C-alpha cells in the first residue's frame, strides 16, 4: 500500500518553517524534505537515480535502467539543508556540487534541469 502524499498546504507550510530565519523543528524539516522528494519523483519518475537525504528520506527517480539489487549505480546524497536550498531554488545544482555538500556518483547522478522544484519567493 502506497504512503499518502504530503499535501501542498502541509508541505509548503513545513518548507516555510524549515527555510525560515528561526531554527526549524525536526518534524518541519522532515516534512519539508519528504515533500520536496515527492515533487522530484513527480517531475522525474523512474528508478535510475537514488536521491538520499539522510535521515529523512530517499527516492528513486529519473527514467532509465531499473536498479533492483545492491548499491545503486547512480546515487546523489546530501544533507537536509542542502536539499532544501537546492530544491527550493536558493542554490543551483552547480553551486551545490562545488560546495562539497552533495555527493554524486554514477553517469546519471545529475539533477540539472530538475531543480529547483519550487521557485524562491
Please name which of 121, 90, 101, 97 lies closest in space to residue 111, comparing C-alpha atoms.
97
Share above pLDDT 70 across residues of the chain, in percent, rounded to a whole number: 95
Task: Dump pLDDT digits (tens) for 39-51.
Answer: 999 999 998 999 9
Q: Do 88 and 82 form a contact (C-beta atoms < 8 A)? A: no
Please name which of 49, 35, 45 lies closest in space to residue 87, comparing C-alpha atoms.
35
Residues 6+ apart with CB under 8 A from 91: 82, 85, 99
pLDDT of residue 73: 86
Q: Among positive and negative, which fits the CA dihedral 79, 47, 112, 73? A: positive
Q: How much is the average pLDDT of 108-121? A: 85
pLDDT of residue 2: 66
Share above pLDDT 90 across residues of the chain, in percent, rounded to a whole number: 84
Task: Dump pLDDT digits (tens) for 60-96.
Answer: 999 987 767 777 889 999 999 999 999 999 999 999 9
Q: Report pTM.
A: 0.92
Amino acid at each position: 500500500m502506497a504512503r499518502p502524499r504530503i499535501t501542498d498546504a502541509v508541505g509548503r507550510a513545513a518548507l516555510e518553517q524549515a527555510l525560515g530565519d528561526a531554527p526549524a523543528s525536526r518534524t518541519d524539516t522532515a516534512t519539508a524534505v519528504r515533500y520536496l522528494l515527492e515533487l522530484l519523483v513527480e517531475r522525474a519518475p523512474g528508478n535510475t537515480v537514488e536521491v538520499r537525504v539522510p535521515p529523512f528520506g530517499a527516492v528513486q527517480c529519473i527514467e532509465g535502467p531499473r536498479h533492483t539489487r545492491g548499491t545503486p549505480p547512480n546515487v546523489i546524497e546530501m544533507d537536509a539543508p542542502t536539499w532544501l536550498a537546492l530544491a527550493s531554488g536558493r542554490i543551483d545544482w552547480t553551486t551545490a556540487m562545488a560546495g562539497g555538500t552533495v555527493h554524486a556518483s554514477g553517469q546519471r547522478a545529475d539533477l540539472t534541469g530538475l531543480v529547483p522544484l519550487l521557485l524562491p519567493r
